Amino acid sequence: MARRPSNDTGTRSVSMADVARAAGVSQQTVSRVANGLPNVNEQTRQRVRAAMQELGFRPSYAGRSLRDGRYHSVGLCVNDVTKFGNLSMIDGIASAAREHNCAITLVEMSKTEEFSLAEATRRMAALPVDGIIIGMSRMAPDFETFDPLPGIGTVIVTMYAHPRVTTVDSDHYGCSLLLMDHLFELGHEQIRYIGGPSFSVDEQFRRAGWQDALERKHIEPAEPLEGDWSANSGYEAGRHLAEHDHTMTAIYAANDQMANGAIAALRDSGLRVPEDVSVVGVDDSLDDFVAHNELTTVRFDLHQRGREVFEHAVPEAGTAGKTVAIRIPGQLIVRHTTAAPRA
Amino acid sequence: MARRPSNDTGTRSVSMADVARAAGVSQQTVSRVANGLPNVNEQTRQRVRAAMQELGFRPSYAGRSLRDGRYHSVGLCVNDVTKFGNLSMIDGIASAAREHNCAITLVEMSKTEEFSLAEATRRMAALPVDGIIIGMSRMAPDFETFDPLPGIGTVIVTMYAHPRVTTVDSDHYGCSLLLMDHLFELGHEQIRYIGGPSFSVDEQFRRAGWQDALERKHIEPAEPLEGDWSANSGYEAGRHLAEHDHTMTAIYAANDQMANGAIAALRDSGLRVPEDVSVVGVDDSLDDFVAHNELTTVRFDLHQRGREVFEHAVPEAGTAGKTVAIRIPGQLIVRHTTAAPRA
DNA sequence: AGTGCTATGATAGACGGGTTCTTTTGTCTA
DNA sequence: TAGACAAAAGAACCCGTCTATCATAGCACT
C-alpha cells in the first residue's frame, strides 16, 4: 500500500513544502513569510500568501511543538466538571491561561471511581501539556507516596501539603476561622456545623477549622452533621437541628447551598433567621440562583487561585520549581443572616 | 551559544535514543519494547524497560502526533466558562470525549469582547485538535459568511442552522412549546414572558417559541420582559408584573434562576404560586441550590448533546461530514408551580 | 571594476516516534 | 559441515517546522 501520509482520513494537512511548490519558491521563503521575517520581496510575499490561502495552509502544531519543545497548553485533571469547586477552578485557570496565551487541556476522570495521582499524571503526561494540574477534591490513595514526573511542572489543587509537589488552594481552614470569629464577636457559642461529605478534602478542612475555633475557646463542639453539599441535605440537617437542639444559636454550613437549605428548614420550623438562629455559609455562590441573597459567607478569589496554580504549573524561566504550599485567604462577606443571639 | 535542545528550561525530555544508549540497544528495539511488539529477546526487553524506568522515559506527544497526524483532543471554544449553558456543554462534551479516550482543549475567549467565528477558528486551529467546537451563545458578526477550515471537523453549538457547518444544540425553541402546551392545557392564556438578555441566542429562540405558541392560539403576546438570567433580575421582573398586570395567570421565565426570583417576587407581593399565578422555568438547574425545588421546568439531556457535538466534530471514518442541524428535544418536568388558573 | 546590500535558493540538521528494509546472530537439520 | 530458517537488532528514512549555512544573482552606489 502506498504510503498515504499517515492521517487515516486520507487527507494530509498542507505543509510548507506544498505551499512552496505551489508558489514556485523554496520552503525557506515560505518559512520567512509565515514568520514575518524580513528579506522577502513584496511581490514574492504576496505570491506565497496567496498560495497559503489557496491551499488552506496552517502550520502543524505537532511539527512546531516537536521543534521548540513547548505546547502552549496546561493539563487540568478533575473528576467532575460540574462541581462548584471544580468549575471555579477551571474558570480561574482558564483566565490565567488566557493571559499567558495558553490553552487548557482538560481531562475528566471518572466521576465515581477512585482516582490515583499516578494514574492522573500518567494520562496527562501523554497529552500536549507544559504543566500538569490535578484537582484533588478527595484524598487520593497514593497521595503520600506520589512522586511527580521529572521534567514537567506539577501542581495539586488541595489543602494538603506535600513534600515533593507544590499544592495550591483556597484556604478552606481559614474560612472557618473567619466565620467563627464573626460569630464569636456577635456573642455566639453554641454553633452547630453542617458539613459536606466526609471524603471531601474541602470538608475536612472547613470542619477542622470549625472544631479548632471552638476548642480554642474551650467550647465542646457538638456533633457535626454530614450533608452532600446540596440544599436538600442542608434542609434535612436544619430540620433535625431545629427539632433536637434548642440551645444552638448559630449554624455554620460548609457551603452556601446547604446554608440556604438550612435557612429554609429553620423558617419552616418557626425559627427566625437571624433573630433566633444565625446562619453562615461558604463560597458566595447563591447570587445567580436566589433573589435578594442575604447570606453571610466567605468569598474566595478564585482567579487569584487560578493564577497561582497556573504559574506554578508552568513556571517562567527563573521561577524554578521550589515546592511550596499556597493557601489563599477568603474574604468575609457579612450580610443579614447573622446577628447577636437572643439575650 | 550551543544548541541546548530548544526547551528553554534547559531540561530536554528523554527520547527513545537516550533510552537506547542507556540500554545499549538500538532505538528501534526501544520502539519495539515501548509498543509491545514481538521479536525482542526477553532479557533485552527487561534491560530496555529498566532503562526507561531509570531515565523516566515517556513518549513525546509531539513526535507521535507528527507521525500519525492525530492529536486525540478536540478543541472547545467558549466565551465564559461559568455560564450555565457553557458549563453544561463542557460537561457533556467531556464525558463524550472520555468515552473516545480523548481530551478537550479548552480556550476561553474574552468574556466581554465580541467574538467572531473566524477568530475563534483561527485560534483553535493553532492547537492540537482533531476537531473544533465553538459555543456560540451570542450571534457572531460573521456567522453568515463563515467558512469552516477545510480538513478539520467543525461544529457550532447554537440553534441557528448554517449552510456549511453542522450545528447542534438543545432545542431552545421546542422547550417553549412544551411549557406553553402544558400551560395551555391547564387553561392559561395570559402568559407573560421574562427573558434573558436579548443578545443571547438561547433567549431569542426561547422567546420565539413563547410568542409563536401564543400567536398560534391567536392570543396577542403581552410585552416580554428582559432579565439577565439572574434570580435578582427575575425578582425585579416578577415585582413589576405583580404590580402592573392583574390579568396574567402564568409566567414563563426563560431560565430557572429567574423563575425562582419571580416566584419570590410574586409571594412578596401577596400572590400565591401556583394558586394565583403559575410559574415555569427552563434548565432544571435549581436542585443543588434550592431546597424542595418545586419548579415546573424543562430538562435537557446535556450528555446526549455532548455526544452529538463530539461525534460530529470528530467523525469516525465513514461518517463523512455532511452538514446537518441537530436539535435535541428537552423533557417537561411538571412539579408544583403550575396549576389551573383561578376560575 | 569593486564594494556592499538585498532577495532567494539549495542543503542540511534538529526535534522524537515509528515503519520498513536489511543485516546479523543463533539454532536446527540434512 | 553446510544450508535453511527464524529471531533479534540495526540502518535509514519519514512526518513538518524552523534555523543555520553557504552560494548566487541582481542592483546601486562609488
* Residue A7, pLDDT score: 36
- 3-state secondary structure (DSSP) of residue A229: coil
Given a contact cutoff of 8 angstroms between Cβ atoms, the answer to whether B311 and B290 are in contact is no
Helix or strand holding residue A337 (H, E)? none
Residue among A63, A81, A125 minimizing CB distance to B58: A125
Q: Which of B3, B7, B9 to mutate to test the interface with A (most CBs of A within 10 A)?
A: B9
| Contact by Cβ (8 Å): B48, B25 | yes
**Looking at the predicted structure, is the pLDDT value of residue B118 above 80?**
yes
Per-residue pLDDT tens over the stretch A62-103: 999 988 888 999 999 998 888 887 888 888 899 899 888 899
Which chain A residue shows the shortest CA-CA distance from B105?
A: A105
Which residues in B lie closer than 8 A to residue A105 (C-beta atoms)? Answer: 73, 103-106
Among A118-122, B20-24, B26-30, B215-219, which range has the highest average pLDDT?
B215-219
B4 has pLDDT over 70: no
Nearest-CB residue to B66 (from A9, A11, A62): A62
Residue from the list A70, A81, A291 with its beta carbon closest to the beta carbon of B91: A81
Distance from CA of A291 to the nearest CA of B (A): 5
For chain B, percent of residues with pLDDT exceeding 90: 66
CB atoms within 10 A of CB A20: 19
pLDDT over 90 at A318, yes or no: no
Most confident option among A5-14, A55-64, A311-320, B172-181: B172-181
> What does the mean pLDDT of chain A come to?
91
Q: Which residues between 203 and 232 in chain A have a beta carbon less than 8 angstroms from any beta carbon of chain B? A: 229-232
Q: Which residues touch strand C (CB under 7 A)?
A: A 24-29, 38-41, 43-45, 63, 66-67, 69; B 3, 5-6, 12-13, 15-17, 27-28, 31, 34-35, 57-60, 62-64, 66-68
| Range scoring the smallest mean pLDDT among A215-229, A233-247, A281-295, A319-333 | A319-333
Nucleotides of C under 7 A from a protein CB: 6-12, 14-20
Compute how many other C-beta atoms are within 10 angstroms of the C-beta atom of residue B218.
6
CA–C1' distance B161–D22 (Å)?
56
A-chain residue closest to B125, CA distance? A58
Residue percentage of chain A with pLDDT more than 90: 66
Q: Does strand D come within 7 Å of the CB of A211?
A: no
Q: How far is the CA of B41 from the C1' of C28 (A)?
A: 19
Q: Among A7-16, B9-18, B167-176, which is the least confidently predicted range? A: A7-16
The closest nt to B41, taking CA to C1', is: D8
The cell for A245 is: 437542639
What is the rounded average pLDDT of the residues A35-42?
83
pTM of the model: 0.90
Angle, vertex CA A64, rays to CA A61 and CA A70, nearest 5: 95
Q: Where does B100-145 have alpha helices with state H?
A: 117-125
pLDDT at A8 over 50: no
- Angle among Cα B217, B219, B220 to the nearest 5 degrees reads 145
Residue B57 has pLDDT above 90, yes or no: no
Give residue A218's pLDDT band: very low, low, confident or very high (50, 70, 90): very high
Cα–Cα distances (Å) from B195 to A216, A228, B243, B257, in that order, read 51, 32, 18, 11
Report pLDDT for B133: 96
B249 touches chain A (CB under 8 A): no
Query: Any atom of strand D under 7 A from CB of A67?
Result: yes
Please state the rounded mean pLDDT for residues B119-143. Answer: 93
d(CA B25, CA B31): 11
Across the range A286-307, mean pLDDT stands at 95
- Window A:70-109, CB contacts with B under 8 Å: 70-73, 81-82, 87-88, 90-91, 94-95, 97-98, 103-108
Structure confidence at residue B321 (pLDDT): 62
pLDDT computed for residue B298 by the predictor: 98
Is B286 an 8 Å CB contact of chain A? Answer: yes
- Interval B182-207 mean pLDDT: 97
Residue B333 burial by Cβ neighbours in a 10 Å radius (0-12, 13-18, 19+) = middle
**At residue A329, does pLDDT exceed 80?**
yes
- Residues B280/B264, Cβ–Cβ less than 8 Å: no
- Say if strands B325-328 and A278-280 run parallel, antiparallel, or are unpaired: unpaired
Nearest CB to A291 within list B95, B108, B264? B264
Q: At what angle do helices B16-23 and B27-34 cross, to 10 degrees?
A: 110
| pLDDT over threshold 60, residue A3 | no
Q: Are B94 and B305 in contact (CB under 8 A)?
A: no
Task: Name which residue leads in pLDDT, B155 or B82.
Answer: B155
How confident is the model over A220-263, as pLDDT tens digits? 999 999 999 999 999 999 999 999 999 999 999 999 999 999 99
What local confidence, expressed as pLDDT, does residue B320 receive?
Answer: 57
At B45, the pLDDT band (50, 70, 90 cuts) reads confident
β-pair type (B331-333, B297-299): antiparallel
* Alpha-carbon separation of residue A106 from A129, A155, A275, B120 (angstroms): 10, 15, 46, 18
CB contact under 8 A, A82 and B87: yes
Place of cell 506554578: A312
Backbone φ and ψ of A326, nearest 5°: -110, 130
Per-residue CB contacts under 7 A with strand D, chain B residues 264-293: none
pLDDT score, position B163: 95
* Minimum-distance CB partner of B151 among A11, A108, A230: A11
Using pLDDT thresholds of 50, 70 and 90, give the confidence band for residue A317. low
**How many Å apart are CA B112 and CA A95, to the nearest integer?**
13
Q: Which residue has the higher pLDDT, B46 or B74?
A: B74
pLDDT for position A10: 41
Residue B84's closest chain A neighbor by CA? A82
The per-type count for chain A, helices as H runs and strands as E runs, is: 11, 12
Residue A70 to residue B7, Cβ atoms within 8 A: yes
**Integer Cα distance of B89 and B77 in angstroms:** 11
Query: Best-predicted range by mean pLDDT among A94-103, A186-195, B62-71?
Result: A186-195
- pLDDT digit string (tens) for A145-167? 999 988 889 999 999 999 999 99
Q: DSSP labels for B288-341? A: TTSTT---BEEE--HHHHHHHHHHHHSPPTTS-----EEEE--EEE--SS--PP
Tell me how far apart the alpha carbons of residues A176 and A178 are, in angstroms, rounded to a whole number. Answer: 5
Q: Is the CB of A41 under 7 A from strand D?
A: no
A7: nearest nucleotide, CA–C1' criterion? D15
By mean pLDDT, which of A79-93, A272-286, B157-171 is the weakest?
A: A79-93
pLDDT > 90? residue B47: no
Write out pLDDT tens, residues A106-119: 998 877 777 899 99
- Asked if the Cβ–Cβ distance from B289 to A291 is below 8 Å, we say no
pLDDT of B294-327, one tens digit each?
999 999 999 999 999 999 998 875 555 689 999 9
CB contact under 8 A, A58 and B5: no
Kindly state the average pLDDT of the residues B28-35. 87
Q: Which residues contact B343 (CB under 8 A, 6 or more apart)?
A: none
* pLDDT > 60? residue A1: no
Choose between A37 and A78: higher pLDDT: A78
pLDDT at residue B12, rounded to an integer: 65
In this prediction, residue A4 has a pLDDT band, given cuts at 50, 70 and 90, of: very low
Residues in chain B within 8 Å Cβ distance of A287? 230-232
Q: Minimal CA–CA distance to B55: which of B38, B26, B37, B30?
A: B30
